[in-house]
Amino acid sequence: MNEWEWHALEDKASLESVSIEGAQVRIGDRVRLLPRSGADVLDIALAGQIAIVEAIEQDYEGKAHLSVVVEGDPGSDIGMMRQPGHRFFFGTEEVEPIGPSVPSHEETNKSPTILIAGIGNIFMGDDAFGVEVVRRFGGRELPRGVRVADFGIRGLDLAYALIDRADVTILVDACPKGGAPGDLYVIEPEIEAQAGAAECVMLDAHGMNPMSVIRAAQMMGGPLGKILLLGCEPLTPGPEQGHMGLSDPVAQAVDRAIPLLESLVQRVLNGKMAADS
């Protein structure tokens, strides 16, 4: 199957899984490539390679096809972004499912990985809430596996961080929901994957819309870990010309957000807030 034929398939809804040799193969699973006789030279060169399933599509005759990215390919990120040259297309009869490996003792007992991402524009008043929280929170000793980063308004950088697939990502941001200024919220955003909409998600390298970033990360890297939002009701974003500094109620909310964030991290590390819960 060539790239043009695959694009024709993408106009149809994707499949979540497909049965191959009695095993359910899903997006993100590993398969061994076994191209059929008569395949083109590039497919033959991939014979025996291990690949990761990037997408599963069904043609107009009901036959399933897999889009895969070769494991260990230095350009695998490009393939996951659905750019040509680093993703390949195989029928279900041309791959062999690889069962899950037995986890090592270290993997079984490892702590969850957590990304704490501060979001906001420091020149827009209370929009800087998330930036200030992670600045203060990141200055303390953190448990193993916890990463704190100030993404500011760099939406593209956050999208790439999300596809690193931390078990849990906690976004910290100003979040207007109609409450009193300084109110804190912990929300699990409802994100709907939109099949075939990869081309519709555009990111501004110097802008930040968390929901757009999450959807773009889904398109770029497939299923993400659990995502939470620690939000604060802003008083004001400041005047149109910009304004540095938090309002009094939001500045006081930063003090309350620190122990709340610590509590969220401990709940995740203690297994009370699993990535798939």
Domain residues of the chain, as ranges? Answer: 3-97, 107-269
The DSSP line for 170-216 is EEEEE--SSS-TT-EEEE-------TT-GGG----TT---HHHHHHH
Residue 275 phi/psi, 5-degree rounding, is: -65, -30
CA distance 188 to 231: 11
pTM: 0.57
CA distance 266 to 99: 33
CA distance 33 to 96: 7
Residue 97 phi/psi, 5-degree rounding, is: -60, 145
Residue 168 phi/psi, 5-degree rounding, is: -140, 130
- The span from the first CA to the last CA of the chain, in angstroms, equals 38
Q: Which band of pLDDT confidence, cut at 50, 70 and 90, is reported for residue 276?
A: very low
Higher pLDDT, 128 or 203: 128
Closest CA to 276 of 221, 201, 268: 268
pLDDT tens figures, 142-155: 888 888 989 888 88
- With a cut of 60, say whether residue 195 has pLDDT above it: no
CA distance 211 to 37: 45
pLDDT tens figures, 207-257: 577 788 888 777 776 667 889 999 999 987 655 656 788 999 999 999 999
Q: Which band of pLDDT confidence, cut at 50, 70 and 90, is reported for residue 197?
A: very low
Topology of the domain covering 3-97: SH3 type barrels. (2.30.30)
Is the Cβ–Cβ distance between 260 and 202 less than 8 Å?
Answer: no
Sign of the C-alpha dihedral, residues 172, 178, 182, 187? negative
Element (H, E) at 4: helix 3-9
Is the Cβ–Cβ distance between 150 and 118 less than 8 Å?
Answer: yes
Query: Is CATH 3.40.50.300 the right assignment for the domain spanning 107-269?
Result: no
Closest CA to 118 of 107, 127, 109: 127
- The CA-CA-CA angle for residues 153, 156, 161, to 5°, reads 100
